[in-house]
Structure formats: C-alpha cells, structure tokens
Chains A and B, each alone.
Chain A
Amino acid sequence: MPMQSEPILVINGLVKTFKNTIHALNGVDLVIHKGEVVSIIGPSGSGKSTLLRCMNLMEVPTSGSVLFEGHLLSIHDKNLNQLREKMGMVFQSFNLFPHLSVLQNVTLALTLVKKLDDQQAKEIAEKRLLEVGLGDKIQSYPNQLSGGQKQRVAIARALAMEPDVMLFDEPTSALDPEMVGEVLSVMRTLANQGMTMVVVTHEMQFAKEVSDRVVFMAEGQIVEVNTPEIIFSKPREERTKQFLKRINIL
C-alpha cells in the first residue's frame, strides 16, 4: 500500500450545508495519496457523494478547503478548469452527451480543452474506447448503448483527459445487476494500472478487494478510515459494525 507516497488531494475541515438546514458534511478531513484506491462507503444520506463532489468543486463547500496537487481549489479561480481536467469524474447517471456519438463524446474535450487536432483526438479516443471494450461502438449514439456500455464510455471519456485522479460517484448504482460486472472489471484494471481512485460505492465486494483504504461515513462525518481487511472483518467503531451487520457483511 502506497502510504508513503505524496498526497494528491488534501481535504480540510469540509462543511457543506444545503439550504441552511441539512448538514451534508460536518467537518471532514481526508488525505488521498498518489496511486491509492480509496472507497467511501456508508448509509445513504451520509454525505459520501457530497464529499466526492466537493473534491472537484462540482459542489462548492460552505467552508473548509480542498487542495489538489498543492493548489487550493476555488470557484473564482480561472485555473479551476485546468485543475478539473486533471480530475476525471464518473457519474451514477453516466451523463453522456446524447447529441454526440460515442467517439465525439470522448473527443470533444480533447479538442476544446486540450486543443488537440481532430486526428490526434480521434486516435486517443479510439485507444481509450478500445481499452474499455467498446472499439466497435465508436459510431453509435448513447441511446443505442446498454447502461454498462454507457458507463464504460463515460470512463473512457474521463480517462482520455489523462487525469491524475479518478472520482467515481456510485458508478454502478444505476445499472442492471448483470451489467455491474463489466464496469467493475474496467475499474479493477484501472486500479491495477496504478490510477489514483476515489470511489463512492455500495459494492462492498469491490471495496474489499480493490481498495487500499476504506472510508466509512455517517451523518456527514468520517467515522472510520481503515484498510479493507480491518473494516470488513473487525471494524473499530460501533457505527461501522452496525452498518456492516445491517447489510449482512459482518
């Protein structure tokens, strides 16, 4: 486990309040290291998606700070786009661009953001789509794909930008059960290649097998951070035990 490697994301005192009433995040500190796979688990409404979405400022925290590769993220910073480019994000609902072909979904940001010419962008996109097993679907449109295929396109789209970290927001929650496997397998390969990954997930088996560390959250706070071995066999905190018992893991 790359505990000694340098931090890539440093989260400090993160608070997020929605409509001044609900505390989605209640003071969260977390450090993600380079090359690490961190899974975030917990009951729904525990703030795990909000925490992930704060990491690239999709959600703007009420207070606290996020440092990415030493840069303080700020919504007013003109460089935020360049920093976001380095943080790939995969959404629960895929969010493919329905008016663009699979290939164009991947090439658009390459040409607009990375300023590559069409040919270079196409080559990168084809390579990435081939890697996720969709080399034969590049001319298709998103609504011709299954959920699993859509999510793999979304992963290829994010990877094409050559991010330093990948943020996964419940990537398999909207999938039919028979399609979960193909998406998890792509993510497994990615983890084995040494990609830094933060994964909000309900897939406990995946969290157990692939993660270097598992974060358990409840009520907007981190309850326990530990290796998957400890979390899934002898968690230290009572809250963690209760949660895992409820979902029949312990």
Chain B
Amino acid sequence: MTLFLNFSFLNNPYSVSLLLQGLGMTLILALLAVCLGSILALIPALMRLSPIKALSIPATAYVEIIRGTPMLVQVLLIYQLLNIPLFLIGGIDMGSFVPGLVALVINSSAYVSEIIRGGILAVDRGQTEASRSLGMTQRQTMQHIILPQAIKNIFPALGNEFVTIIKETSIFMYLGVAELMYQVGILKASSPAVTELYITAGILYLILTYPLSKLMNFIERRLRHADAK
C-alpha cells in the first residue's frame, strides 16, 4: 500500500466526467426505485393488513422472499428472466437498465411495504373506531384517517430506505449499468490510483447520502411540529 495518496486523476476532466455521470446514474436509479417502489409497496402493505388470508399470505410470502434473498441474486435473476436485447435510449443501454431498475423497484417495494405496514399499525386503534362509528367505510377510513397519520411514521423510515437504495445501486456494475462503481471500474483499468478511486467513490456516495439523512431529519421534525400548528 502506498503511504501517499495520489488523487491526480481528479485533474483529468475525462475521469471527473465519468465519475459524475456515474453519480448521476446512481441518483436516477435510486430515485426511480424509491418512488416506483413506494407506490408499488402500498399493494403488499395493504394486502398483509387484510384479515383475508388469500390476500395476506401471498403478500407475506412476497415480502419474506425478497427480504430473505440477496439483492445480487434478485438482480441477476430478473436480468436473466427479462432478457431484453441491447438498445440505447439517451445513451443508456435499456437492455441492462430496465431489468436493473425492475429488480431494484421490486426489492425496494418489499422493504417499503414493511415500513408502510408498520406506519399504519402505529396509528391508534381508536382512530379507526371513531371513523367507523361515524359510518365511514373501511376504505374511507384508510384514505382519510389512517394514511394521512401513517405518513408521519413512514416518511423518516422512507428516507433511510432511500439512503440504503443509493448504496445498493452499486450492485448494477454487475449488469454493466454505468453507475458510479461501474465508472470506477473503467477508470481502475487505466489508473494506478485504485485506492484513491475507491476513496473518491466512497466520498461521492457520502455526498449523496449524508445531506439526504439530514434533510430527512429536518422533514421529520417539521412533520412532528405540523400537529402543533
């Protein structure tokens, strides 16, 4: 190991642009995955809360399988199953981007569904009773009483999930999706400063995740205060 680190590759516009492109791709993947995953997550979350076993059992199985298997296996399996031929949109190979994103969305939906379920269960039972006693249906109760309150429990945990997903995107280097770690791999081939590249990658991830954690803390405090408005 060299004692003196050499970050001279940061003076090379080509390397910097590759890294920033990778960072951009990482952010796009994570954003899409969390947004789509959160919407999709509502389905297993509500299914698991249902007293009807035909709904709750498949949803439980879905969540347990996704959470109980490595993301790498899921990603490679979906890549294999979808088997989309190489075609480019905006310079991005959809043949690897789409299965990668699908895998990430599915993975994220399972984790987020547990966050949503927990957030819903944390709402006091008396809220449901008050709502139902006024003649509101189960659906109206969920939509107007439970979910608006559950959001406050869900949002902070969702931020953590976003941070996790940002880090998980590094798995896409296996598919050849040009996210941050993939670009690091390319630069590594032509640079002796491998340690420095990895450190740079770590710092770039941190630049995404740290402000995000702070932002989530801020939003969480605002939500708690919102009740006191």
A219 to B154, CA, bound (A): 42
CB <8 Å contact, B228 and A141: yes
CB <8 Å contact, A85 and B129: no
CB <8 Å contact, A113 and B127: no
Q: Is A91 an interface residue (CB 8 A)?
A: yes
Q: Is the interface of B mostly helix, strand, loop or mixed?
A: helix
* Given contacts A85-B134, A85-B135, A141-B229, A112 and B144 within 8 Å (CB-CB): yes
The interface residues of chain A lying within 8 Å CB-to-CB of B126 are: 91, 93, 95
The interface residues of chain A lying within 8 Å CB-to-CB of B133 are: 56, 58, 84, 87-89, 158
CB <8 Å contact, A58 and B227: no
Q: Is A157 an interface residue (CB 8 A)?
A: yes
Least Cβ–Cβ distance between B132 and chain A, in angstroms: 7
Least Cβ–Cβ distance between A247 and chain B, in angstroms: 27
CB <8 Å contact, A161 and B135: yes
Least Cβ–Cβ distance between B153 and chain A, in angstroms: 12
Q: Is B145 an interface residue (CB 8 A)?
A: yes
Q: Is B217 an interface residue (CB 8 A)?
A: no
CB <8 Å contact, B228 and A109: no
Q: Is A143 an interface residue (CB 8 A)?
A: yes
Q: Is B170 an interface residue (CB 8 A)?
A: no
A99 to B223, CA, bound (A): 11
Q: Is B140 an interface residue (CB 8 A)?
A: yes
The interface residues of chain A lying within 8 Å CB-to-CB of B228 are: 141, 143-144
CB <8 Å contact, A108 and B135: no
The interface residues of chain A lying within 8 Å CB-to-CB of B229 are: 141
Least Cβ–Cβ distance between B155 and chain A, in angstroms: 13
Contact of A113 among B124, B136, B145, B149 (CB under 8 A): B136
Q: Is A232 an interface residue (CB 8 A)?
A: no
CB <8 Å contact, A108 and B137: no
Range class of the A interface residue count: 20 to 34
CB <8 Å contact, A141 and B135: no
Residue among B124, B132, B134, B135 facing the most chain A CB atoms (10 A cut-off): B134
The interface residues of chain B lying within 8 Å CB-to-CB of A108 are: 134, 136, 144
* Given contacts A112-B140, A112-B144, A84 and B227 within 8 Å (CB-CB): no
Q: Is A192 an interface residue (CB 8 A)?
A: no
* Residues 61-104 of A contacting B (Cβ, < 8 Å): 81-82, 84-89, 91, 93, 95-99
* Residues 100-119 of B contacting A (Cβ, < 8 Å): none
A113 to B140, CA, bound (A): 9
Residue among A86, A112, A157 facing the most chain B CB atoms (10 A cut-off): A112
A22 to B144, CA, bound (A): 35
CB <8 Å contact, B136 and A98: no
Least Cβ–Cβ distance between A34 and chain B, in angstroms: 20
The interface residues of chain A lying within 8 Å CB-to-CB of B144 are: 108, 112
The interface residues of chain A lying within 8 Å CB-to-CB of B58 are: none
CB <8 Å contact, B127 and A82: no
A95 to B134, CA, bound (A): 12
The interface residues of chain A lying within 8 Å CB-to-CB of B140 are: 112-113
* Residues 111-164 of B contacting A (Cβ, < 8 Å): 124, 126-127, 129-137, 140, 144-145, 148-149
Least Cβ–Cβ distance between B128 and chain A, in angstroms: 9
| Smallest CB gap from A144: residue in B | B228
Q: Which residues of A contact B (CB under 8 A)?
A: 56, 58, 81-82, 84-89, 91, 93, 95-99, 108-109, 112-113, 141, 143-144, 154, 157-158, 161
26 residue pairs of the A-B complex, CB under 8 angstroms, read A56-B133, A58-B132, A58-B133, A81-B135, A81-B137, A82-B135, A84-B132, A85-B134, A87-B133, A89-B133, A95-B127, A96-B130, A97-B127, A97-B130, A99-B149, A108-B134, A112-B144, A113-B136, A141-B227, A141-B229, A143-B228, A154-B130, A157-B134, A158-B133, A158-B134, A161-B134
Q: Which residues of B contact A (CB under 8 A)?
A: 124, 126-127, 129-137, 140, 144-145, 148-149, 227-229
New A-B contacts (15) at CB < 8 Å, excluding given A97-B130, A112-B140, A113-B134: A56-B133, A81-B135, A81-B136, A86-B135, A87-B133, A89-B129, A95-B126, A97-B127, A98-B227, A99-B148, A99-B149, A109-B131, A112-B136, A144-B228, A157-B134
